[in-house]
């Protein structure tokens, strides 16, 4: 039976919020658990939105974090389709869009992120898309199928993970694809130019056209429909649809308005939390894409926008809300699938942080592991079509040990012997 004298409120209907609710019950919390989401869909996982579901390989129901009946069975109260408009920290309450006020003893903010918008003429046209929510994926899936049937053109602004995964899905449907990217290689801010060329070659082999070193300046349309996309170097690309895939921004306005400490832009913005995912208010925690964590392992404040972070930080925050000792020091991890290439990335090595890239295996055959090193210490590793090595890579990252680059790059030397 639920003890109504204690209430934990979770704001955010994504994976982090769903897993936090699950963990509270698994850890024996008997008070009220209230999960509030501004979407009408039940909490779901986001990777299928640009991977299996978008590509038509998975059914819609596969994206949800739990079956619908789970919430009632676990005594988790759902408020769906209801945004939280304000937090009253003194009264320890949140106000919903319909003016309902809900008291909390502990509050978890798992509000996620939102796609950055193109600030150019033509973004109000019917064929301009973003991809963040399930409703976006529903619409874009139909669009890609139609483009494939009609030999239509999709222009993608941004060659990050979302842009490349959508390009892969679009080519699978038979659509024509052009990717416009201001850097000189894909994924520049994540893997740098050394490995980025591999993804350029992969997508070009599948018919994707790249336009590097340029930005969109205008989307041209007629009668409300997209006709073309123009870039700042004077080029014009035919287009029936345009996807803005230029990154995401943390949905931290609610926390900011409540006076919670924010992380600076150098650390990705978001809500500043300590290693236990506690905000500057001891009764409020944050997890998932919106949380900028003071990371014990990496020694910096870091905001991570990936599935594994939502999967793991939601439960960690739930345990901290229950008063357990928590030090959220997970090695950042994400995965991607593009055509016949699958990869996993562990660590954190933005451009400028490393001084050497070591390739282990055959990059030409796209069966390799790339390591990013600083002073011979492994900052990150990415295994491409090589499996069951993530644990070893993460142990190398955690160790902080100086590693012989020649041994690291030699496939005949087992990774576990380098630890």
Residue 332 lies in a domain: no
Q: Give the total number of structural domains in the chain.
A: 3
pLDDT tens digits, one per residue of 229-256: 999 999 999 999 999 999 999 999 999 9
CB atoms within 10 A of CB 143: 20
14's tokens = 């994504």
Residues 134 and 214 in one domain: yes
Residues 308 and 363 in one domain: no
Q: How many residues does the chain have?
A: 419
Residues 316 and 401 in one domain: no
Residue after which a domain boundary falls, among 246, 272, 293: 246
Q: Which domain holds residue 371?
A: 340-418
Residue 283 lies in a domain: yes
Residues 94 and 162 in one domain: no
Residue 333 lies in a domain: no
Residue after which a domain boundary falls, among 219, 246, 273: 246
pLDDT tens digits, one per residue of 22-58: 999 999 999 999 999 999 999 999 999 999 999 999 9
Residue 327 lies in a domain: no
Residues 9 and 98 in one domain: yes
Residues 217 and 363 in one domain: no
Residues 103 and 26 in one domain: yes
| DSSP-assigned beta bridge partners for residue 191 | none
Residues 199 and 283 in one domain: no
Residue 33 lies in a domain: yes
Query: What is the share, in percent, of the chain residues with pLDDT greater than 90?
Result: 95
Q: What is the pTM of this model?
A: 0.95
Residue 155 lies in a domain: yes
Residues 159 and 50 in one domain: no
Residue after which a domain boundary falls, among 273, 294, 321: 321
Instruction: Give the up-direction half-sphere exposure of residue 302: CA atoms within 13 A in the CB hemisphere.
Output: 22
Closest CA to 226 of 68, 120, 385, 364: 120
* Cβ contacts of 24 within 8 Å, gap of 6 or more: 8, 33, 318, 321, 322
Residues 84 and 137 in one domain: no
Is 80 exceeded by the pLDDT of residue 218? yes
Residue 329 lies in a domain: no
Is 90 exceeded by the pLDDT of residue 307? yes
Residue 334 lies in a domain: no
Question: What CATH number is given to the structural domain containing 175?
Answer: 3.50.50.60
Residues 135 and 239 in one domain: yes
Question: What CATH number is given to the structural domain containing 364?
Answer: 3.30.390.30
């Amino acid at each position: 039976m639920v003890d109504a004298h204690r209430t934990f409120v979770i704001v955010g209907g994504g994976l982090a919020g769903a897993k936090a609710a699950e963990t509270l019950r698994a850890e024996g919390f008997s008070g009220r658990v209230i999960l509030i989401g501004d979407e009408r869909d039940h909490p779901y996982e986001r990777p299928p939105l640009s991977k299996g579901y978008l590509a038509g390989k998975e059914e819609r129901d596969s994206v949800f974090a739990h079956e619908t009946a789970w919430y009632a069975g676990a005594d988790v109260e759902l408020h769906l389709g209801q945004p939280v408009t304000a937090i009253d920290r003194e009264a320890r309450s949140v106000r919903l869009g319909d003016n309902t006020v809900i008291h909390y003893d502990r509050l978890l903010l798992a509000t996620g992120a939102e796609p950055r918008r193109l600030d150019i003429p033509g973004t109000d046209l019917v064929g301009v898309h973003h991809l963040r929510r399930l409703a976006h994926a529903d619409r874009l899936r139909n669009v890609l199928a139609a483009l494939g049937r009609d030999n239509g053109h999709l222009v993608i602004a941004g060659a990050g993970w979302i842009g490349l995964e959508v390009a892969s899905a679009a080519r699978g449907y038979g659509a024509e694809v052009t990717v416009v990217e201001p850097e000189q290689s894909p994924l520049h801010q994540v893997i740098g130019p050394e490995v980025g060329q591999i993804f350029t070659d992969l997508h070009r082999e599948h018919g994707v056209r790249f336009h590097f070193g340029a930005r969109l300046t205008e989307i041209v349309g007629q009668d409300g429909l997209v006709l073309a996309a123009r870039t700042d170097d004077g080029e014009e690309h035919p287009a029936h649809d345009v996807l803005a895939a230029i990154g995401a921004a943390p949905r931290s306005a609610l926390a900011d308005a409540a006076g919670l400490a924010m992380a600076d832009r150098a650390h990705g913005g978001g809500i500043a939390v300590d290693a236990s995912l506690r905000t500057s208010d001891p009764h409020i925690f944050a997890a998932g894409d919106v949380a900028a964590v003071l990371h014990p392992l990496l020694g910096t404040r870091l905001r991570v926008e990936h599935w594994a972070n939502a999967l793991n930080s939601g439960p960690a925050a739930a345990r901290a809300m229950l008063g357990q000792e928590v030090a959220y020091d997970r090695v950042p991890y994400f995965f991607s699938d593009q055509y016949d290439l699958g990869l996993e990335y562990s660590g954190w090595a933005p451009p400028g942080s490393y001084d050497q890239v070591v390739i282990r295996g055959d990059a030409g055959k796209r069966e390799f592991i790339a390591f990013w090193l600083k002073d011979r210490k492994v900052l990150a590793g990415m295994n491409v079509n090589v499996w069951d090595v993530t644990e070893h890579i993460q142990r190398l990252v955690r160790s902080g040990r100086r590693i012989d680059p020649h041994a690291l790059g030699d496939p005949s030397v087992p990774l576990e012997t380098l630890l």
